[in-house]
Amino acid sequence: MSSLTNKIYKAGGYCRLSVVENEDKEESVSITNQKKCIEEFAKNNHIELYDFYIDDGFSGGNFDRPGFKRLIHDIECGIINCVITKDTSRLGRDFIETGNYIYKYFPEHDVRYIAILDNFDTENPNETDDIIPFKTVVNDMYLKDTSRKIKSVRHGLMNKGFYVGSSVPYGYKRSEEDNRKFVIDEYAASIVKKIFKMKLDGMTDNMIAKELTNEGILPPNIYKERKMNKTVTSNLWKASSVKTILKNEVYIGTLIQGKYERVSLKSKKKRLLPKSRWIIKKNNHEPIIDKEVFEKVNKGFKESKSDIRVRKYDYLLKGLVMCADCKKNMLVRRCKSQSKKTKDEVYAIYCCRTYASYRNGVCSMHYYREDDLNKLVLDEIKKYFIKYSNDSMLREKYKEILSNSNLLEETKTELDLSQKKLKDIDKAISELYKDKTIGLITSLEFVSIKNDFAKDKQQLENKISELKVILCNLKDNLLDEKTKNQMIKNFLMIKNPTKQMIETLVHKITIDENKNVRIYFKFHLDGDT
């Protein structure tokens, strides 16, 4: 009983300040003021203050904040057992999630929560406990009101012809007089004109992309230094980039903004608005392309049905076949036989995606006939399953799984890489806030760019969560001998295995330049092909 009544608390002081609050010059909510308030409270109440967890420039509308995540991590690790904020609005302004942390998460993890100015302490309940839920609702209302104000300001700027995007379109640069306006970037504009000319000369988007790459012209993302994670194809133009430029009305002086909106304040998902709600400003800036040229080029786009794709074929191994050299999934192309004996016969081949798209020495021509590959893979799988179908042999092989599984190691590597990318984004957000603080970018630009980063970050976090689940399942399932025996028996009994069954057994299939095929199973068998 003595240890319960004299519990020692090691606290984390949590401080948060949003961009809007910082702009309003509210000294009372400044990070310095919050830290001072928490330090004095901890000292006066004999609570050990372990560390401060700070999110400077982050909205209280969600809990996707680096400082808060570090706080939760330390709670999970048992490093701290108390959280102190100046008031509940610093913890968060979303009343549902904030309430969840206050009334569910903290109690379940035996964490004491204190909101100093709200006179709220989970260790010492009082009459203010009944008021806190209403305060979180008020905080949520403040968040919605702030969001509406920001949206109104942005729309006002759009209607005046100001650009509120994070980066200007290729071919333009920000005006030195007003960074909400843009002027022509002579070099990039010459490339835009070149692209339109090549299109008028009858070249396809793929042909244009290859020509630009061959000439050593940097693609938009690299030219503007926007691409964070470079790959072997980063310096190559893509047909999709060419098509985006050819269809963008910005090049005839028309600025189109407000095409998308969030489905709700608390969701990052966006939806396309009807064209009647777009904010369109014609003759807004100096054009690069003549209107007649633009319309002539885009007439073909409007008449083309190439954008409407109907999936006629679902190939057995599609999605599993990968180029052994560039590591990209291989495409399936349908070809017509040139032989006199089999004239007009149509067959499918797997070919290297990188080579098919660029043909610029990044990779070489890897290909394999689809029906031949199906037979080879099925025969190899059956051969190895028959060889190792003896229960006693399988039992010995499964003991080696954790140290020998190709899939397990690859998943771990992919997880490490994704976590590193996540750290890079957090660092980029931190640097972005510094740029905003010293005036390199405006607050609206900061919010817009940070939202883009947040979207990438969310995708990475989702991927990391999935990889962790896969890793956990691999460790469990790969040791499940009964499951594997049953899978092997089912496979051997069926004459024509389904795509779903193949995907259950095979992680990937690689093909190198010499047509050597290697199969990676979802569990280890000695002597995998």
Residue 118 belongs to some domain of the structure: yes
pLDDT level of residue 258 (50, 70, 90 thresholds): confident
Which residue, 303, 332, 349, sits at the end of a domain?
303
pLDDT tens, position by position, 104-127: 899 999 999 999 988 889 888 776
Residue 179 belongs to some domain of the structure: yes
Pairing of strands 346-351, 10-17: unpaired
116 and 173 housed in the same domain: no
What CA dihedral angle connects 17, 19, 23 and 25, to 10 degrees?
A: 0
pLDDT at 328: 83
141 and 176 housed in the same domain: no
Residue 346 belongs to some domain of the structure: no
144 and 172 housed in the same domain: no
133 and 182 housed in the same domain: no
Residue 107 belongs to some domain of the structure: yes
pLDDT tens, position by position, 329-369: 888 888 776 666 666 677 888 888 877 776 666 788 778 88
pLDDT at 496: 73
Whole-number Å distance between alpha carbons of 220 and 167: 11
Which residue, 266, 284, 303, sits at the end of a domain?
303
36 and 57 housed in the same domain: yes
DSSP 119: T
Whole-number Å distance between alpha carbons of 293 and 291: 5
Domain range for residue 17?
Answer: 2-148
Whole-number Å distance between alpha carbons of 200 and 185: 23
Burial grade of 94 (CB within 10 A; 0-12, 13-18, 19 or more): buried
413 and 279 housed in the same domain: no
Which residue, 288, 303, 318, sits at the end of a domain?
303
Q: Which of 83-87, 136-140, 217-221 has the highest mean pLDDT?
A: 83-87
Mean pLDDT of 379-398: 63
| pTM (global) more than 0.85 | no
What does pLDDT average to over the chain?
A: 78
Q: For position 276, which CATH number holds?
A: 3.90.1750.20
To which residue do tokens 């310096």 refer?
235
pLDDT level of residue 150 (50, 70, 90 thresholds): low
If we measure between CA atoms, which residue out of 512, 503, 507 comes closest to residue 524?
507
If we measure between CA atoms, which residue out of 350, 376, 332 comes closest to residue 518?
376
Task: Please state the domain count of the chain.
Answer: 3
Mean pLDDT of 13-40: 77
Angle (CA) 320-232-167 rounded to 5° is 110
pLDDT tens, position by position, 158-180: 888 888 887 889 999 988 888 88
129 and 178 housed in the same domain: no
